[in-house]
Amino acid sequence: MKRKIIGLIVCLCFAFAPGFSSAQDLLIKNGTILTITRGTISNGDVLVVDGIIKKVGKDIKAPKGIKIVDATGKYVIPGIIDSHTHIALAATNEMGNAITPEVKMRDVLNAESTSIYTALSGGVTMVHTMHGSGNPIGGENIVIKMKWGKTSEEMIVHEAYRTLKFALGENPKRANFSGAGTPRYPQSRMGVNAIIRREFKKAKNYMEQWDRYLNAKKSKKSAKNLIPPKKDLQMEQLADMMRGKMWARCHSYRADETLEFIKLSKEFGFKIAAFEHISEAFKIAKELAEEGIGISIFADSWAYKVEASEGIAYNAAFCTQQGVLVSINSDSGEKIRRLFNEAAKSMKYGGLSEEEALKLITINAAIQLGVDKIAGSLEVGKHGDIAVFSEHPLSAYTLCEMTIVEGEICFDRAQYLKERKEKEKKKKEKETKKKGGEK
């Protein structure tokens, strides 16, 4: 009862959101199931119980009273994962300083942002929402699920890697932002590299100070009035990077700056989960493949600035074929609802198979975020994050019919159309009444 009341309130609050079914149990019947990792099942079913996928196959018997989604003629895929966005945030860049690893996107999550609903309308169930690229060392990013109507805390995916944003090139050197205040250091690519190195050297020193202090404390010979080093939140974050507790996600466009950053990661022993945008990945695909570093890129957005002017549409396919783990991101509150269109372009430009193309927005993104055990494919034991499409999701004519997060229907086009019809009907009635009154 209480749940129902809450559900009702949520529905009222978000007049345009589809109604939630409060239960996390669901059976999708008779669709073309694109599991991504285990092939395609035609006329297949997916059973979700308590938000977890319990069965994927044919002719699954419906447990008593379970909600059934008829997917006849439709396509069922795992929820799309956007591995680089800035949605549902109250702030993106902390521009007061060039070095801001202490700021956390978790602190500025905005659960009421309509961008969550927009993402759902394009089949997206999970996003990596990030600090911007204004600073060489930005803030800590966060992975959230698109649980429209829930609190920001409930959206957080705790299984995901902790990631820290880094940025190279034109944005941190403020190349395209002339006139906006006093120029700050760094203003060049060498400055960007140097400042990142400086911070890691500082952090190394900081770690050593603490090690010495803790060792001294343990030692019987130590002085009684031993003073601990000052806690530094920036240094703690970078120390966590070097301890392997947090991964770098590095915004880069050019091949050369990317290679320099890989060198930095080796110098200080931190891990890189993925390079972001990296227009020129195809130039250094073999290095990326050798290092096992993924890339999170646009399908073909390019030429909006000089460093993006060699970002060819073949990037995703070519790097995939060279053994690089590639995901396609939106970096946009608008493009996020058509990531499936963007992924499809990799078939035309470079000849990826349908399955490979779909991986770019599902399992590959999940691996990059460290959530492939719970998301990114339709497999037993994974979360019931699912999207249903009217036609093959890689067709230009498709549209998202339904988006399910942990067994709950969070977007339902049929429901949306129903509500719109009712609204239009009411509007018409009001107008005719008004006209009648005027007479």
Partner 1 sequence: MIRKILACVVLVLLCASFGLVRGEDSGVIAIKGAKIIPVIGEDIQEGIILIKDGKIADIGANVGIPSGAISIDAKGLTAYPGMIDSFCYLGLQEIGAVRATVDSRETGRFNPQVKAVEAIWPDSMHIPISRSNGITTAIVVCTGGLISGQSGMIRLVGWTPEEMVIKPSVAMYIQFPSIPRFRRQTQTQPREQTSKQIEELKDILNRARYYQKRKEAAQKDTHLPLPEFDEKLEFLLPVVNRQLPVMISVYADKDIQAAIQFVKDENLKAIFFGVTEGWKVAGDLKKSGIPVVFGSLNAMPPKWEDGYDSIYRNPGILANAGVKFAFSSQSSSAAKDLPYHAAKAAAFGLDKKEALKGVTIYPAQIFGVDDMMGSLEKGKVANIVLADGDILELGTNIKYVFIDGIQTDLSNRYTELLERYKKRH
Residues 185-244 that bind partner 1 (CB under 8 A): none
Residue type, 116: I
Closest separation between CB of residue 229 and partner 1, Å?
A: 43
280-299 binders of partner 1 (CB under 8 A): 282-283, 285-286
Q: In whole angstroms, what is the distance from residue 303 CA to residue 310 CA?
A: 7
Residue nearer to partner 1 on the CB measure, 210 or 314: 314
For residues 95-124, which are near partner 1 according to CB under 8 A?
A: 114, 117-118, 121
φ, ψ at 236 (rounded to 5°): -60, -40
DSSP code, position 360: T
Q: By CB under 8 A, name the one of 202, 347, 355, 415 that touches partner 1.
A: 347
Please identify, using beta-carbon distances, which residue of 268 and 416 lies nearer to partner 1.
Answer: 416
| Nearest alpha carbon to residue 34 among 325, 350, 398 | 398
CA 382 to chain centre: 17
| Structure tokens given for 321 | 């074929």
Residue with tokens 């002085």: 223
- What mask of x and - would describe binding to partner 1 in positions 375 to 414, judged by CB under 8 A? ---------------xx--xxxxxx---------------
- Residue indicated by tokens 């059973």: 47
Part of the chain binding partner 1 (CB under 8 A), chosen from 136-144, 186-194, 313-321, 365-373: 313-321
Using the rule CB under 8 A, is 35 a contact of partner 1?
Answer: no
Instruction: Find how far residue 424's CA is from the centre of its chain.
Output: 35
Nearer to partner 1, 183 or 351 (CB): 351
Q: Please, which residue, 49 or 312, has the CB nearer to partner 1? A: 312
* Angstrom distance (rounded) from CA 179 to CA 166: 24
Residue 40 within binding range of partner 1, rule CB under 8 A: no
Residues 6+ apart with CB under 8 A from 210: 228, 229
Instruction: Pull the structure tokens for residue 189.
Output: 């690519």
User: From the CB of 18, what's the least distance to partner 1, in Å?
Assistant: 11
110 or 209: whose CB is closer to partner 1? 110
DSSP 142-189: EEEE--TTS-HHHHB-TTSPPEEEEE-TTTTTTTT-TTSSS--S--SH
Q: In the complex, what is the shortest distance from the CB of residue 352 to partner 1, in angstroms, rounded to a whole number?
A: 10
Task: Report if residue 361 touches partner 1, rule: CB under 8 A.
Answer: no
- Choose between 261 and 298: whose C-beta lies nearer to partner 1: 298
| Rg from Cα positions in the chain | 24
Residue 82 interacting with partner 1 (CB under 8 A): no
The residues of the shown chain that bind partner 1, judged by CB under 8 A, are 16, 114, 117-118, 121, 170, 176, 282-283, 285-286, 300-306, 309-310, 312-314, 318, 322, 333-335, 337-338, 341, 344-345, 347-349, 390-391, 394-399, 416, 420
